[in-house]
Amino acid sequence: MYKRVVVTGLGIVSSIGIGIEEFWPNLLAGKSGITEVSTFDTAEYEIKLGGEVKNFISKNFLNKSQDKEFGRASQFAIAATKLAGSDANISIDEIKASRMGIIIGTTMGEGGMIEQIDKHWTALGEEDVWGLTISKYPSNSIANNVNRALGLVGTSWVMPTACAAGNYSIGLGYDLIKTGHFNRAIVGGADPFSRIGFTGFGRLYAMSPDKCRPFDKNRKGMMVGEGAGILILEEYEYAIQRNAKIYAEILGYGLSCDAHHMTSPQVEGVSKVMQKAIKNSGIKKIDIDYICAHGTGTPANDKTETEAIKHVFGKKAYDVPVSSIKSILGHTMGAASAIEAIACCLSLRDHEIPPTINYETLDEECDLDYVPNEAREKTLNIVLNNSFAFGGNNACVVLGRCR
């Protein structure tokens, strides 16, 4: 018999707050996390804004040696994991005693490390490249470093499925608990700022010069962000036995790869992944009370997502609130859908939908209810979390109030 899977802990590092106590009120208030980038010199860049985490103090979460040993993505992931564990009211010893694994999604991995390698190599040659810097670079180090920092020995994975990686991680954790392999999983995503990402999206002409306006007629693109989101998943009976608080139940998920184009989404692929998620969750489309959109603010993505929602939900599409928190945070890449899953859990807890800020002008091709500019109270029982990535890697997760 399959096990039920629930969310018992949430941890976040974001441009609008570290920890859910700071993050959630700011999200509902529509407080923008977009500021001038200071992680690196933007003098030669046309666009100088992003969703940068300004007040992260690594020594609050890592000891002195770990602070030097781990890159920024790993530091974010470790901090978010510790926050999630504290929120779930479980000790490291309790985590060690469980059958567990760590699954972290990412787009850039420790992208800043390769920049440092290139900088030293081009300046003074190969001998100037530090071995420690090289050891930080591989993307798989993020999940391994969470294990190392917490003294855990559980199985670890890194999901490299770009901007859908957080949802992929949640899906794998769900499967492993549902089938009885684990009774607990640490899942989520992490991505830091890097020149590589900033330059890449700039050269794709996908970035907005001022602000992110998802679904607005005058949208000009995305804003690059950074951060980490971690969720503690547990088998339902296991969580009940320890009297854990439960934010939500993972009802199911769907995956699709439309393989249509490296950067341009396809309505068919996006429709298919939502349909799969709904079917696999054992619910009907009329049961969805809210859609947390991928909503990047690019002309193509928002139009495609809107068309796909209409294709899946028909006339009901106009009755389902849809909002994009990327308007507030920027696009946090591999962390995005994990952070959005955290927002979904908090929405289910408080019956509050975060807004799509910067929404000013109706687009005839994007004419759904995007919860413009102000949070909304609404009774929520089941929500859908969308994520779509380059190459057509799509993942949607369905979360519900635990009954």
- Tens digits of residue pLDDT in 29-75: 999 999 999 988 888 888 999 999 999 999 999 987 777 778 889 99
Among 50, 37, 399, 78, CA closest to 247: 399
pLDDT at 119: 63
- Beta strands 376-377 and 35-36 are unpaired
Q: Which residues make Cβ contacts (< 8 Å) with residue 119, sequence separation at least 6?
A: none
Q: Are strands 35-36 and 17-18 parallel, antiparallel or unpaired?
A: unpaired
Which of these is catalytic: 212, 294, 345, 366? 294
Q: Is 331 a known active-site residue? A: yes
Range(s) for CATH 3.40.47.10 in the chain? 5-241, 252-400
* From 181, 257, 311, 331, active-site residue: 331
Q: Distance from first CA to last CA of the chain, Å, rounded?
A: 18
The domain 5-241 is classified under which CATH number: 3.90.1720.10, 3.40.47.10, 3.30.70.1450, 3.90.550.10? Answer: 3.40.47.10
163 is catalytic: yes
Distance of CA 80 to the CA centre of its chain: 12
Note the pLDDT tens digit of each residue in 134-179.
555 556 789 999 998 999 988 899 998 989 999 999 999 999 999 9
CA distance linking residue 399 with residue 131, whole number of Å? 43
Q: What pLDDT score does 39 carry?
A: 86
303-343 pLDDT, tens digit each: 999 999 999 999 999 999 999 999 999 999 999 999 999 99
Average pLDDT score over residue span 260-289 = 90
279: amino acid identity, one letter:
K
| Percent over 70 (pLDDT), the chain | 92
Predicted local distance difference test score (pLDDT) of residue 128:
59
Residue 22 has pLDDT above 90, yes or no: yes
Q: With beta carbons less than 8 A apart as the criterion, state whether 212 and 32 touch.
A: no
CB 224, CB 254: distance < 8 Å: no
Could you give the C-alpha distances from 82 to 203, 244, 276, 284, 347, in angstroms and in order? 36, 17, 33, 36, 22
Report pLDDT digits (tens) over 100-125: 999 999 987 776 656 665 565 566 66
- The answer to whether 226 and 15 have CB atoms below 8 angstroms apart is yes
Query: How much of the chain, in percent, has pLDDT values that exceed 90?
Result: 73
Q: Are 400 and 384 in contact (CB under 8 A)?
A: no
pLDDT at position 63 is 85
Residue 394 has a pLDDT of: 94
The CATH code of the domain at 252-400 is 3.40.47.10
Predicted pLDDT at 124: 63
Please provide the DSSP assignment of 46-102 as one string.
S--EEB---S--GGGTS-HHHHHHS-HHHHHHHHHHHHHHHHTT--HHHHHHS-EEE
